[in-house]
Each structure stands twice: as structure tokens, then as C-alpha cells.
Amino acid sequence: MAGMSESTSTQMGMHTEPLTGRDIKTKFTLENEGGFAYHFARDVDFNRRAEIDCAELEPTEINRQIRELMDSGHGSIVIRNPGAKHSLVVGILNRMNIIVEGSLGYFGCGLLDGPTVRIAGRVGWSFGENMMAGVCVVEENAGSTFGAALRGGDLVCKGSVGSRTGIDQKGGTIIVGGDTGAFSGFMMQRGRIVVCGNAGKNLGDSMYDGTIYVGGDIRDLGVDAVQAELTDVDRAWLTRKLNMYELLPAQGVDHFTKIVAGKQLWSYDNLEPTEKKLVL
């Protein structure tokens, strides 16, 4: 939110208080956002490229090889023949590029903080869980609980996703080019979900906060999810964001429906920011 006026962010339903955590406070300020890195982050060169053929490797070995390549300064890694194996490309806290030339199984790309990942195939359940920063783009479909507990970054699926997309989402942006299943945005606390296609039943059920945009039909809304007016700021943001990932519909974004929390069920708006952080 650095550089954004309070009135603009408020119009978009976003929080304005600085979210400086106790552990990173001494190293991270909003003014120095771009320079932040973990003290143990590898100094990688994006022009150094390496490949891993996963056909005969177990997930543990594949993830170990990714770390070894990072240690040796490789900033671009290509994953060949991933074979829908589980738990690949997890826990990477570096800025780097990863290209997956195939499909991932369950729990792919969990706990990321920084990398840019492109998956040419599809991904299974719980993709991108707990991602803190970075970009993940999936070219085909994704399974259920896509982006569960997402905290930051952009998580994009150009196809359709399963159920409970963005469950417990705490920040960041989830973009779905196709449809999403039931209970999407369930107990969502912050961040944004954009669905270009249709949404299943109980959309936004028990959401605390955050915003959901749907371009197609919504089967029904969950408890305490309500429709809100799509503002010019929303349109500008949707247009820019969807354009970034080549998902902007030909007719634009005027037809999108905006869903927010009614805050009749859960509301922490009266808490001090520090108290709110403890709750959320």
C-alpha cells in the first residue's frame, strides 16, 4: 500500500494500518519495501539457468536439488517431467524464476515468499497454500483449496479451480480465469479473489473482510457475504490486474459483481490495529 492514499485504499475496502510484524520490524519498512529480503536469502543470478529432470526423483530429492541450485547462484530453474508429484517447489524464500514444464500434485508451491513460478500444466489440491509474496501462474486447471491461507502475492489459475478457493485467505490476490467451486472465500479475512467465470454455492461464507469479484454467475452467497457497488477504483484495479495475466475479458470488467463481508457475523473494525493483528 506504499504510495497509495488512504482515501483510495479505503474505497477499495483495504486496510490502511501498517502490518509490521514483530520479527521483521527492524528490517522492513513501507518505504523500503522493495529492498526487503531474508538474511538467509541466496544471492542468485536470474541469468543463470538450470534444469531438473524429475522423472526418476522423489519429491524430497527434487526440492533438495532446487535448494542446491539456489546455493550455487542459479536464479532460473526449469522443472521437467514433474509427473503430478506432490509437495514440489515448496518453502522457497528467494526471489527467483521457476518454470514447471508439466503438472504438480497436491501441496505444490506452498509457503513461498518471493519467487515467480509458472506451471505449464495443472495443479492439485492446496496449491500456493500460505504464500507470502511472489507470483504463481498456472496455465491449466487447479484442484480444491487453491490459495488456502494466502498472505500475499498473486496466485493465478488460467483454467478452472475446485472448491474452497481462498479459504482463510489473509492477503494477496487470487485470480481464476474460469470457474470456482463451492465455499470459495470461506472465512476469508483479507485480500482479493477475482473469478472470471462462475462461482459455486456459499460464496464468501463467513468472510471477515476482503473482496471477491465474479465475472459470471454466482450460484448463491454464503452467510454474511453481501453484494457491494463496483466503483471506478475497482474497475481500474480489475482491468490492470487481469491485463497483467492476459485474462481481461473482451467486454471489459463492468459486468463483474463485487462481494464483501456484511460484518454482521464477524467484525473487528472497532479494534486497535495491534489488537486486530492478534485476532487476524
Partner 1 sequence: MCGIAGLIYRDGARKIGGEMTAMLQALRHRGPDSTGFAMYGAPGPNEYVMRYKVAEKEDLDGGTRIHRAIRERKAAVDAVLEELGVSVLELDEPTEYALRSRIAFDGDLKRLADQVEEVEGGEILSIGNALELIKDLGDATAVSEVYGLGTFEGTHGIGHTRMATESDVDIRSAHPYWAYPYNDIAVVHNGQITNYWLMRRQLEREGQRFVSHCDSELLAVYTAVNLEKGMSLEESLRRSIDEIDGVFTYLITTGNELGMAKDTMAAKPMVLYEADDMVALASEEVAIRAILPHEIDTSDPYDEEVRVWQA
Residues near partner 1 (CB under 8 A) are 83-86, 102-103, 105-106, 120-122, 124-125, 140-141, 143-144, 159-164, 181-183, 200-201
CB of 106 to partner 1, least distance (A): 7
Computed from CA positions of residues 248, 254, 255, 259, in that sequence, does the dihedral angle turn out positive or negative?
positive
Residue 62 or 260: the one with the smaller Cβ distance to partner 1 is 62
CB of 194 to partner 1, least distance (A): 19
Let me know: does 261 contact 210? Beta carbons within 8 Å: yes
Question: Cell triple for residue 213?
Answer: 469479484
Q: How far apart are CA 102 and CA 54, in angstroms?
A: 10
Let me know: does 66 contact 89? Beta carbons within 8 Å: yes
Let me know: does 100 contact 117? Beta carbons within 8 Å: yes
CB of 279 to partner 1, least distance (A): 27
CB of 87 to partner 1, least distance (A): 11
Residue 105 or 115: the one with the smaller Cβ distance to partner 1 is 105
Let me know: does 190 contact 170? Beta carbons within 8 Å: yes
CB of 118 to partner 1, least distance (A): 15
Let me know: does 196 contact 247? Beta carbons within 8 Å: yes
Q: How far apart are CA 228 and CA 71, in angstroms?
A: 48
Alpha helices in 2-121, H assignment, sequence order:
6-11, 59-71
Residue 121 or 249: the one with the smaller Cβ distance to partner 1 is 121
Residue 107 or 237: the one with the smaller Cβ distance to partner 1 is 107
CB of 53 to partner 1, least distance (A): 13
Residue 76 or 103: the one with the smaller Cβ distance to partner 1 is 103
Let me know: does 218 contact 237? Beta carbons within 8 Å: no
DSSP code for 219: S
Residue 127 or 237: the one with the smaller Cβ distance to partner 1 is 127
CB of 84 to partner 1, least distance (A): 4
Residue 76 or 144: the one with the smaller Cβ distance to partner 1 is 144
- Is 238 exposed, middle or buried (CB count within 10 Å of its CB: 0-12, 13-18, 19+)? buried
